[in-house]
Structure 1
Amino acid sequence: MIQFFAYSESVFCAKVRIALDMKGLEYAELPPPDGYGSKTYKAIIPSGSIPGLKDGNAGLSDSNAILEYLEETAPSPALLPEAAAERALVRMLMGMHDTRIEPSVRAFYAPIKAGTSPSDPCYHQLIENMGAAFERLEDLIEAAPYAVGHHVTLVECAYATTFSQAHQLATMFGGELKLGPKCQRWWQEMQSLSHAATSIDINRKAMQDWVAKFIQVDA
């Protein structure tokens, strides 16, 4: 059975979980033994990072590499389109998630861990920055109803919990994640996907608990 090493608050782990669930694969989800970066964990996943996937002799890290591996080893249902241009668009949007969108959400983590008061103006600036990052998606997605046409792809695996976490953090700090009409429509479709909804719920509860370790905010 596949071993999937993850933390529930991580959106990178969530994207792998969603793909595993969509493909109907059997797996055991585990925390990295002795924590990520530990010698024990590196003996299983050499990079020592999460998410990690152990499948037979393969010990993989990097969420996008894991998704590509799953697509090649368990090709049905397909989460990459057949057309080369659409496959490239999926990969472009995945890269944008990791380099632009997710970092705008993760920017909240440092002040939260530092115990910065929820009333501090820095959070309002972070909400604005996050909204600006999401605004970049509006002209890049089709939302017809999914990001790349009529079929669920790896893009939905990547973005579902990130949208959720962005909304959650904005609400916690008295703001709102403003989305354009296409992004709003896409977000509604992602929430209707049962496997995505499961990971959204897992991530939301984990983030609520994680934030509560450092500061007290409204849920």
Structure 2
Amino acid sequence: MNVSIEITYKTKKGLEAVFHSEEMPAEKALLFAEDLEKTGRVKTIVFTDHRDSTWNMKELKKFMQGIQTEPHNVTVYFDGGFDVDTKTSGLGCAIYYEQNGKFYRRRKNRLVNNLDTNNEAEYAALYLALQEIENLGVHHLPVKIMGDSQVVINQLTGEWPCFEVELNKWADRIEEKLEHLGITSEYELVPRKNNQEADHLASQALKDIDISSTLEIER
């Protein structure tokens, strides 16, 4: 989770000034704040997150201790494939996250037959990923969403308009799920070579190979 710091600083002669920092990881912000407090010149310190929630030092420390036991620092990779001949779609997602000081990878795919285009399959793959992070218990945190679909990423970020009725429905489903979970999405369009894991999962789904696994990994 990223936060910004607002510091009210008071000089020996009683002059006050307010300083604002750029956003940074909460752990780093706490280290800076603790170091500044040692000067004895800090009157107040307020931390603000991406949802405009605010904490003092004690509250943020307690919050950060609490989320260590829950999945956090979540990154999602998604990909969808569509077989024109069979009219089936393969959905794949890989989710990386941290919990209790350890790192994990969750992989999931699914074969579906109720979609009509590759772009629908891409949207459906992202929705599958959001269902998986919901199952993990991820909520009220920023989540990085990585995909190689220009259509999905650019439409969800508002870079491209969405005229297709079905794609609009998928975009609405995704926005509703994000809002329900209290998640702020950070979308990033990545080259196909950087999305090979999700692509492979989608291809396996099209071959009716079911994957559902969680593995602790080294970082």
The TM-score with structure 2 as length reference comes to 0.32
The TM-score with structure 1 as length reference comes to 0.32
- Decide which structure has greater helix share: 1
- Decide which structure has greater strand share: 2
